[in-house]
Amino acid sequence: MVFETKNKISPNINDYNIDSIRDDFPALSLECNGYPLSFLDSGASAQKPSKVLERMDHAYRNEYANVHRGAYTLSQQATDNYENARKTVADFMNAKSSDEIIFTRNVTSAINLVAHSYGRNFLKAGDEVVISHMEHHANIVPWQLLRDAVGIELKIAPIDDAGNFLLDEFEKILGPKTKLVAITHVSNVLGTIVPIKKIVQLAKKVDAKVLIDGCQGIVHEGVDVQSLDADFYAFTGHKLYGPSGIGVLWGKLDLLNAMPPYEGGGDMIETVTFEKSTFRDAPARFEAGTPPIVEAVGLAAAIDYITSIGVNNIATHENHMLEYATSCLAEIDGLRIIGNADKKIGIISFELDDIHPHDISTIIDSK
């Protein structure tokens, strides 16, 4: 399927060598169904640059051992790499301390950790948790489970037809019963950039804690958690050009240390007897068992790669491509773009009259 367009907008910008960047990604040299691969599913999971793949391969071949357990050289080297990766993440988010960085399986496990360890211990029946109409299932279902277990009430902040977050309506929902606000930074379906700074400020007026699902936001917007002043910020590695199997939960340290462990096992304990156990402070208390060692190294390599290009440079190029793609799609008869928020990233959802989305995907994939 080839779409003809008269649009003359160039997808190139100055001082940004997109061809060189494409060459960094081995998958983009592939052919699928006899055509060069054009990968348009980074909102679900991004391809990996060679520097990430090579760094992980080197770690597995030359630096692998379990961490925090061995007194021998290889284990110490692996431990240093793992903890240095934590520091890389902390610096990328401008966290106050690397102790605020917890490595998880993905953002889903990070949000579930908060729902379980914070929600089940600090929230009670009748307390309100506020989410929005733009949330991923990972930021809906854990709160439904908490509602069923504890009796909290779930409030939904609305959006308008264009996909804009309605701050005035959100503020009306807030009240003395509001104890937690859990909101996405950027919608993974509409591309809407949510005004999280203002949301945090409004939530603080009613003494509510705030969790931000940053899966899309940290890639396209970046985050300074000290400036933001939320209480939790979660994201996953595989959307940040890093490996799957690793996510991050940032939390304010005093809050993390007040929360009980989510899981029990090795390395999160301080002492163990058959009568009782005591637990280490964060981050260790939330990292039971063998962690994603090489995945952490790969995530750090991905962050180094992004930093070398520049988050602002990436955002500028992406905004240009969003404008270009939107104008091209607008010329197709019967096509409707879903989500035209005032501020959005390069995610475009659309539908075509009388054509099932699966059929569109199959046709485009074949070409």
Looking up residue 226, the CATH number of its domain turns out to be 3.40.640.10
Q: Does 252 lie in the same domain as 177?
A: yes
Q: Which residues contact 212 (CB under 8 A, 6 or more apart)?
A: 182, 183, 184, 185, 196, 223, 228, 230, 232, 233, 234
Q: Does 340 lie in the same domain as 238?
A: no
Judge whether 279 lies within some domain: yes
Judge whether 175 lies within some domain: yes
Q: Does 284 lie in the same domain as 222?
A: yes
Q: Which residues contact 141 (CB under 8 A, 6 or more apart)?
A: none
Tokens for 194, please give them. 């949510």
- In 3-state terms, what secondary structure has residue 217? helix
Q: Does 187 lie in the same domain as 116?
A: yes
Q: Are strands 232-236 and 31-32 parallel, antiparallel or unpaired?
A: unpaired
Q: Residue 15's pLDDT is what? A: 61
Domain-ending residue, one of 271, 291, 307: 307
Q: Does 149 lie in the same domain as 33?
A: no
Cα distance between residue 210 and residue 223, in whole Å: 15
Q: Residue 16's pLDDT is what? A: 77
Judge whether 1 lies within some domain: no
Which residue in the block uniquely carries the two structure tokens 């959100």?
Answer: 170
Judge whether 149 lies within some domain: yes
Q: What is the CA radius of gyration of the chain?
A: 22
Write the DSSP symbol of residue 143: H
Q: Does 319 lie in the same domain as 275?
A: no
Judge whether 12 lies within some domain: no
Q: In this structure, what CATH number is given to the domain that contains residue 319?
A: 3.90.1150.10
Phi, psi of 51 (to 5 degrees): -65, -35
Tokens for 198, please give them. 């203002």
Whether the predicted model's global pTM rises above the 0.85 cut:
yes
Domain-ending residue, one of 307, 333, 355: 307
What is the helix, strand, coil percentage profile of the chain, to 5? 45, 15, 40
Q: Does 203 lie in the same domain as 116?
A: yes
Q: Which residues contact 102 (CB under 8 A, 6 or more apart)?
A: 110, 113, 248, 249, 250, 251, 256, 282, 283, 286, 287
Q: Residue 367's pLDDT is what? A: 81
Q: Are strands 349-352 and 335-338 parallel, antiparallel or unpaired?
A: antiparallel
Q: Does 199 lie in the same domain as 64?
A: yes
Identify the domain containing residue 27 by its residue range.
18-39+313-366
Q: Residue 267's pLDDT is what? A: 93
Domain-ending residue, one of 292, 307, 322: 307
Closest by CA to 189, choosing from 300, 77, 41, 89, is: 41
End-to-end CA distance of the chain: 6
Q: Does 218 lie in the same domain as 79?
A: yes
Which residue in the block uniquely carries the two structure tokens 């953002």?
Answer: 107
Judge whether 7 lies within some domain: no
Phi, psi of 300 (to 5 degrees): -60, -40
The CA distances from residue 344 to 163, 164, 294, 321, in Å, are 9, 9, 33, 12
Cα distance between residue 312 and residue 246, in whole Å: 25
Judge whether 290 lies within some domain: yes
- In 3-state terms, what secondary structure has residue 152? coil
Contact 235, 247 (CB under 8 A): yes
Q: Does 300 lie in the same domain as 322?
A: no
Cα distance between residue 133 and residue 70, in whole Å: 47
**DSSP class per residue in 59-71:** HHHHS---SSS--
Q: Convert 32-62 to b/e letters by CB count within 10 Å (16 or more is b).
A: eeeeeeeeeeebeebbbbebbeebbeebeee
Closest by CA to 240, choosing from 223, 261, 252, is: 223
- In 3-state terms, what secondary structure has residue 170? helix
Q: Does 322 lie in the same domain as 264?
A: no
Q: What is the largest CA-CA distance in the chain?
A: 75
Q: Does 343 lie in the same domain as 218?
A: no
Beta carbons within 10 angstroms of residue 286's beta carbon: 24
Q: Name the helix (H) or strand (E) containing 104.
A: strand 101-104
For the chain, the domain total comes to: 2
Q: Name the helix (H) or strand (E) containing 365.
A: helix 357-366
Q: Residue 50's pLDDT is what? A: 99
Judge whether 13 lies within some domain: no
Please list the rounded mean pLDDT of every run of 10 residues in the chain (367 residues): 35 70 96 92 96 99 97 97 99 98 98 99 99 98 99 99 98 98 97 98 99 96 97 98 99 98 95 96 97 99 97 92 96 96 95 94 90
